[in-house]
Structure 1
């Protein structure tokens, strides 16, 4: 191979190695529950599941006063794993991942967090990027 051709090949290889891969560009970024991490439909489905699968032992009010105090600052993955590993009490882990995610979406909405355009994922890898936070106070200092 001629020196100039070799140099051109080397330069092209170096350029390819220095360019970030497309997969890196598409890595999901961390998000807050304040930004709308679930859909209306998903939360509605979560309410239905809550009533059928959780309602025998739990009431929505059980998850309103202390829920965000307990989970704020943790990831949705931690909540997802906790619920999946312990609920329903008579058969933990028996729901589909999407069903557990829907119940979590319902609980987030119940606590005043906004809905968004995309459903809360059921992938623990992606849920690790969702930070649970209390809703932002409105302009008067109150919660929505």
Structure 2
């Protein structure tokens, strides 16, 4: 019995010392990570790129009912500025709840910028919440665009 009483506190101590998942941090900024990108070789103007991300936010204030608000920044590494996209509400408007989920981003009509037959590039993604906090930057693996 004495051994059992000693084992329980030690087990609880080790269980509480686990590494925290960064997607569940107490930061008020959203957190994103890339789950998958397909395809990785893209034929210009033919193939769409599908980027699956996982997102989390401690207070759930991501997305808008206003389609003119663009909260997802997607930057092509070959270009100086990102493009911005609409994100619908990911939780009920006005709620203050922790959210975590997955989102698929489809990018159509990717094309070669230079005169060569192929180009390597990446996408950088950031998600902004309604308070103006930007998430970390998630970067795709290298993608190849071909003619």
TM-score normalised per structure 2: 0.31
Which has the larger strand fraction? 2
Higher relative contact order (CA 8 A, sep 6+): 1
Structure with the greater alpha carbon radius of gyration: 1
